[in-house]
C-alpha cells in the first residue's frame, strides 16, 4: 500500500501519519523530518539546504529524489507499504515519482488531501513555535511556505483527483476525529 498525504503547513500531516502508520503498519516517510535531521547533523546536504528550509522554499528536486530512491529501495519490502508525508510537492516530483514506481511495477493507492483553513494553520503554527521552536515556524516564513503550497503543491490535488485516487478529508476536526475519517475512507 502506498499512500501520499497532501496538505498545507500545519494541516496535521505528521500527526496523522504517525497514527496511520501505527494502525496500518506502514513506513512513515517524512521528507521534512529527514531534511531537518540532515541540517541538525550538519551533513553536506544539511549545509546546502539549511537556508532554503529556513526561508520556506522547496529544496531542489535532485536532492529529494535521491532520498526517495533510497527509501523505496530500503523500505518497500519491509512493511505493508509506505506513507509519503510531504512528497511529492510539485509536478516534477510527482512525474518522477510515477516513473520510479512504474519501473518497480507499483503505483500510489491513495492520496489523502488534508484540508485546513489559513486561520487554523496560523493558530497551530504559532502554538508549535512556542512548543517546539522549529526554525521555519516564524510567521514571515510561514507566509512563504503557504505561497509555495498554493502555487506548487496544491495543483497536485487536481492531478490526483483526475486519476481517481484522491480523498479529501476535513482536517479542522480533533486529531482523533480526523484520524477516524482517514481510516474509514481507506477501508
Ligand atoms: P515539512 O516538514 O513537510 O513541513 P510542512 O509541509 O510545512 O508541514 P508541517 O510539518 O509544518 O505540518 P504538518 O502538516 O506535518 O502538521 P503537524 O502534524 O506537524 O517541510 C518543511 C520544509 O522542508 C519545506 O518547507 C521544504 O523546505 C522542505 N521540504 C520537505 N519536503 C520537501 C519536498 N518533497 N520537496 C522539497 N522540499 C521539501 O501539525 C502541526 C501542529 O498542529 C502540531 O503542533 C500538531 O500538534 C497540531 N495539530 C495537528 N493536528 C491537529 C488537530 N486536528 N487539531 C489541533 N491541532 C492539531
Ligand atoms: Mg510535518
Active-site entry in 106, 134, 167, 173: 134
Task: Tell me if residue 36 is catalytic.
Answer: no
Task: Tell me if residue 145 is catalytic.
Answer: yes
Alpha-carbon gap, residue 41 to 77, rounded angstroms = 28
Q: Kindly list the strands in the beta sheet with 27-30, ordered across the sheet, starting from the edge strand earlier in the chain.
A: 27-30, 82-85, 2-6, 110-115, 166-170
Distance 50 CA to ligand 1 centre (A): 16
Alpha-carbon gap, residue 6 to 89, rounded angstroms = 8
Crossing angle of helices 155-162/91-103, nearest 10°?
40
Please say whether the beta carbons of 85 and 30 come within 8 A: yes
Predicted pLDDT at 79: 77
What does pTM read for this prediction?
A: 0.97
How many residues are given for the chain?
187
Alpha-carbon gap, residue 40 to 62, rounded angstroms = 20
Distance 96 CA to ligand 1 centre (A): 22
Distance 58 CA to ligand 2 centre (A): 14
Per-residue pLDDT of the chain (187 residues; tens, 9 = 90+): 999 999 999 999 999 999 999 999 999 999 999 999 999 999 999 999 999 999 999 999 999 999 999 999 999 988 799 999 999 999 999 999 999 999 999 999 999 999 999 999 999 999 999 999 999 999 999 999 999 999 999 999 999 999 999 999 999 999 999 999 999 999 8
Choices 3.90.550.10, 2.30.29.30, 3.60.10.10, 3.40.50.300: CATH for 2-186: 3.40.50.300
Per DSSP, what are the bridge partners of residue 29?
84
Task: Tell me if residue 124 is catalytic.
Answer: no
The closest of 18, 38, 53 to 137, measured between CA atoms, is 53
b/e per residue 136-152 (b: at least 16 CB within 10 A): bbbeebbeebbebbeeb
Percent helix, strand and coil across the chain, each to the nearest 5: 60, 15, 25
Amino acid at each position: 500500500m502506498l499512500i501520499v498525504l497532501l496538505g498545507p503547513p500545519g494541516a496535521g500531516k505528521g500527526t496523522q501519519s504517525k497514527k496511520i502508520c501505527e494502525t496500518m503498519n506502514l513506513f512513515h516517510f517524512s521528507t521534512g523530518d529527514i531534511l531537518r535531521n540532515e541540517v541538525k547533523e550538519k551533513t553536506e546536504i544539511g549545509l546546502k539546504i539549511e537556508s532554503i528550509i529556513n526561508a520556506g522554499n522547496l529544496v531542489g528536486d535532485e536532492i529529494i529524489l535521491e532520498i526517495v530512491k533510497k527509501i523505496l529501495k530500503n523500505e518497500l519490502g519491509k512493511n505493508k507499504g509506505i506513507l509519503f508525508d510531504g512528497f511529492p510537492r510539485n509536478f516534477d516530483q510527482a512525474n518522477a515519482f510515477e516513473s520510479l514506481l512504474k519501473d518497480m511495477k507499483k503505483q500510489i493507492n491513495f492520496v489523502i488531501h488534508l484540508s485546513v483553513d489559513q486561520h487554523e494553520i496560523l493558530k497551530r503554527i504559532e502554538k508549535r513555535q512556542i512548543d517546539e521552536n522549529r526554525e521555519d515556524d516564524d510567521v514571515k516564513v510561514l507566509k512563504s511556505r503557504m505561497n509555495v503550497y498554493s502555487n506548487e503543491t496544491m495543483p497536485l490535488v487536481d492531478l490526483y483527483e483526475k486519476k481517481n485516487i484522491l480523498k479529501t478529508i476535513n482536517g479542522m476536526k480533533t486529531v482523533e476525529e480526523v484520524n477516524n475519517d482517514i481510516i474509514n475512507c481507506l477501508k
